Chains A and B, each alone.
Chain A
Amino acid sequence: GAVVSQHPSRVICKSGTSVKIECRSLDFQATTMFWYRQFPKQSLMLMATSNEGSKATYEQGVEKDKFLINHASLTLSTLTVTSAHPEDSSFYICSAREGGRGPVGYTFGSGTRLTVV
């Protein structure tokens, strides 16, 4: 089955620094990738949608200059949290969509637990 690899699984960074999270589709080409944020005991909130080779589309309320998304190839998307602050601490999850497979074509990474101290 389709596999999405997300790294790192956990990261602790100092306030003011930047952190990069990678999302790779290992055995398929992802026409679209999505980034979600999840706070404890809450649902997944869509942050942005990225298509290979074009700018990401951000959801309302998500700062595009703070959460930089790069989708340079059909198998890799990165999310960079710039100038991180403690309130950015959260669980970040990526999803990659393989076209032509309907709902089954959305595969999720295992998530990244970001803690900003």
Chain B
Amino acid sequence: GESVGLHLPTLSVQEGDNSIINCAYSNSASDYFIWYKQESGKGPQFIIDIRSNMDKRQGQRVTVLLNKTVKHLSLQIAATQPGDSAVYFCAEIVFSARQLTFGSGTQLTVLP
């Protein structure tokens, strides 16, 4: 299916707490799923990806979980910092089409 523009949900967390951002994806044929961070007035910045045959991948302070049964993706950020405040988007790639399609985003605000 196509991603549809939606008004962004928001998530506020205290500095130092863990954050969990969720995303529902649409295409069962996607090869990879990616999380991007977008700061105000800038382009998306790659955070972490996960291949469709995996269910978990860890990076530095971030973990991505993939549940293909319910088409759900999540991004966990450990010890959230003020610099983590941004909009986070999930995206999916079908390599045969070479297209990267964005899903819904979440505005993360880190409170001091």
Contacts and interface: CB of A to CB of B under 8 A. Distances in A.
Name the interface size band of chain B. Answer: 20 to 34
A46 B4 CA distance: 11
A103 B42 contact: no
Interface stretch (B14-22, B43-51, B66-74): B43-51
B98 A103 contact: no
Contact of B5 (A43, A49, A107, A108): A43
B43 A108 contact: yes
Contact of A43 (B3, B41, B93, B99): B3
A46 B6 CA distance: 15
B6 A43 contact: yes
A93 B7 contact: no
A102 B49 contact: yes
A103 B98 CA distance: 10
Q: Is the interface of B mostly helix, strand, loop or mixed?
A: strand
B110 interface: no
Contacts of B44: 44, 93, 108
Interface string B84-112: 00000100010000111111110100000
Contacts, number: 68
Nearest to B107: A41
Q: Is the interface of A mostly helix, strand, loop or mixed?
A: strand
Contact of B93 (A41, A49, A103): A103
A45 B46 contact: no
Given A103-B93, A104-B46, A45 B5 contact: yes
A6 B43 contact: yes
Contact of B8 (A36, A42, A103, A107): A42
Given A4-B43, A102-B32, 19 more contacts: A32-B98, A36-B102, A39-B5, A41-B7, A43-B4, A43-B89, A43-B105, A44-B44, A44-B89, A45-B5, A46-B100, A95-B100, A103-B32, A106-B100, A108-B44, A108-B45, A109-B43, A111-B43, A113-B41
19 contacts: A6-B43, A34-B99, A36-B102, A41-B7, A42-B7, A42-B105, A43-B3, A43-B6, A43-B104, A95-B100, A97-B98, A103-B34, A103-B100, A104-B49, A106-B46, A108-B36, A108-B44, A110-B42, A111-B43
